[in-house]
Structure 1
Amino acid sequence: MDILTDITARRAALAPDATAFHIVETGETLSYAALDRRSACAASLLAADGIDAGDRVAILCRNRVEFFELLFACAKLGAILVPLNWRMPASELDGLVEDCTPKLIVFGDEDRETAAALARTHSLASLDLETGYAGRRDALEPHAGRTAWPGEEPWYLIYTSGTTGRPKGVIQTYRMALVNAINIGQAIGLRPGDATLNFLPLFHTAGINLHTLPVLISGGKVHILPGFDPAATLALIDAGELDVFIGVPAVYRELTLHPDFETTELTRLRHWSCGGAPLPDVLVEAMARKGALVCNG
């Protein structure tokens, strides 16, 4: 547990042509070889912008492949990714940025104004995922990176919601990511090549750790949506494209209320999980009537 091998490099070596990500909105797929190259080139981009080991990189965006490219890029450099809550205004994010002192803020189009305000207030360099990222990334050679990631080192920093005081930065180490993958894998019976759906917010542990990182570590496929879309989710399930799934009670409510729910073959998905709050009996029963037994964590 003291060392985690470079995940994307190892997966690219084992199965370079296997699909790592499927972008549901566009149909684009990304192989493990492409994910590793993009992540290594993103590491070169970060290094060119002055990011060294131990530096923090803040990111403010919805669910997208580039988030994970940068997560793995930080690991290759030894830097620390800090996902910020895009539901919070800049005035509320000020304290978090002051606490983690990032060198750079990366942002998507939806959060451009918030990122610009934070960059001005805290004198941060910024990187635009829409216009400045892909071109620069692809023009660079892949970074050599680190062959192994020490277990005790911080990999990413997730802030709590602050419901009982100021939000606190929770340190997520490489060892924690590996142990989580083992525990989740045992709990849901994860198999090599399994597919999941990434849509839960990436500023929360579930968006990263349930079940996306375990699936990527095991060499599976991650379908990705910017946010929850019940129609698209049910379509993937009915097509047999998902093997393991996790949502919160509100997600299950929206699935059961959608017009396509009754015609969707839920048993094509092997393991259903729920977390974040107790799952009401009425939702458990609605899913069970169609053969889907939801495990409430």
Structure 2
Amino acid sequence: MPSSLFKQQLTNNPDSLAITDLTSRRTWRELHARVTALVTLLQTEYGIAPGDHIALLVGNRIDHVEAMLAGQLAGAWVTPVNTHLTASEIDYIRHDCGASLVFCDNSHEALLAPHGTGQIINLQTLGPLPTGTEIDESSPCGGSMLYTSGTTGRPKGVRRAKPDTVGQLLDRMRQAGRNFGLQGGGPHLVTGPLYHAAPGLLALYDLINGAPMIILPKWDCDTFFNAVQQYSVTTTHLVPTMFVRL
């Protein structure tokens, strides 16, 4: 049975914009191909099995979203790591969560100690991906495990309850989006760091429901206004400080 991932968009407008970080962009067809290819890569070449753990040290880039989604669809627990931490702080989280693989980008690869456990994969130098196989929605799904800020001691990992299968995970993401009014009706603008729960997960839920995702590389008032106008943004997530600056 074909996967329901982006099914409506792939049927109705496969070559329209699905996601952009204002530098690169993907259509729905391209995004689906990238995500399924990463799932296949994780499961076959990198040996990620259900229940394993991976970490992301990636900025506000398309790669972050693709890897976050692919990891969970591959059955892994995924921890997005704060990209503003020091090398030693990152090393602690990497080891504490038991990540057998860390995805990174060019800007943050140097922060990863090469002597640490697990594989380090730079998404920007990964090269051509294999053709992905169709996602089996009856297979075990993964989940997200985010870390607290560590204001009272070391950061602590918080595992979000997850369902059993990939199909149930996608259904839960869709319903979570609808609970917040993120029903995929129009472009969603990411204004904060993708490693944070609210901007990262809410945007992912809206994307799963069919909303193109527009990612600001970092917060800037002019870039915010320009993106809203250029892409006719309908939903976003802002914090009080951003309202003050606007």
- Range of TM-score over shorter length: 0.7 to 0.9
Q: Is the 8 A contact 2:49 2:75 kept in 1?
A: yes
1:54 aligns with 2:43: no
Instruction: Give 1:217 deviation, angstroms.
Output: 2.0
The aligned counterpart of 1:125 is 119
The aligned counterpart of 1:227 is 218
1:65 aligns with 2:59: no
Q: Is there any run of 5+ residues in structure 2 with no aligned partner, and where?
A: 164-168
CA 1:7–1:125: 2 relative to 1, 3 Å: same
Q: Is the 8 A contact 2:74 2:142 kept in 1?
A: no
Residue of 32, 37, 49 corresponding to 2:28: 32
Instruction: Give 1:250 deviation, angstroms.
Output: 2.0
Count of aligned positions:
238
CA 1:207–1:190: 2 relative to 1, 3 Å: closer
Secondary structure at the counterpart of residue 142 of structure 1: coil
Distance 1:222 1:246 in 2: 12
With normalisation by structure 1, the TM-score equals 0.71
* Superimposed CA distance per residue, residues 166-208 of structure 1 (whole angstroms, 9 cap, x where no aligned partner): 2221113455885565355344x44443111123112210132
CA 1:144–1:194: 2 relative to 1, 3 Å: same
Instruction: Give 1:100 deviation, angstroms.
Output: 1.2
Structure number with higher helix proportion: 1
* Superimposed CA distance per residue, residues 261-287 of structure 1 (whole angstroms, 9 cap, x where no aligned partner): xxxxxxxxxxxxxxxxxxxxxxxxxxx
1:52-131 matches, within 5 Å, as: 52-115=49-112, 117=113, 119-120=114-115, 122-131=116-125
Q: Is the 8 A contact 1:197 1:223 kept in 2?
A: yes
Instruction: Give 1:35 deviation, angstroms.
Output: 0.9
* Superimposed CA distance per residue, residues 92-144 of structure 1 (whole angstroms, 9 cap, x where no aligned partner): 223322221111111111112112x1x42x2321111222x2x242xx12133
Distance 2:182 2:91 in 1: 39
Q: Is the 8 A contact 1:149 1:174 kept in 2?
A: no
Q: Which has the higher contact order (CA 8 A, sep 6+)?
A: 2
Q: Is the 8 A contact 2:143 2:160 kept in 1?
A: yes
RMSD value, Cα: 2.5
Percent of pairs identical after alignment?
Answer: 28
Distance 1:51 1:191 in 2: 32
Q: Is the 8 A contact 1:6 1:148 kept in 2?
A: no
Q: Is there any run of 5+ residues in structure 1 with no aligned partner, and where?
A: 256-297
Secondary structure at the counterpart of residue 164 of structure 1: coil
The aligned counterpart of 1:196 is 188
Q: Is the 8 A contact 2:191 2:219 kept in 1?
A: yes
Amino acid at match of 2:134: A
* Superimposed CA distance per residue, residues 31-67 of structure 1 (whole angstroms, 9 cap, x where no aligned partner): 2221111111112222312222221111101111111
Distance 1:240 1:35 in 2: 18
CA 1:32–1:110: 2 relative to 1, 3 Å: same
CA 1:148–1:227: 2 relative to 1, 3 Å: farther
CA 1:9–1:214: 2 relative to 1, 3 Å: closer
Whose Rg is larger? 1
With normalisation by structure 2, the TM-score equals 0.84
1:234-253 matches, within 5 Å, as: 234-239=225-230, 241-253=232-244
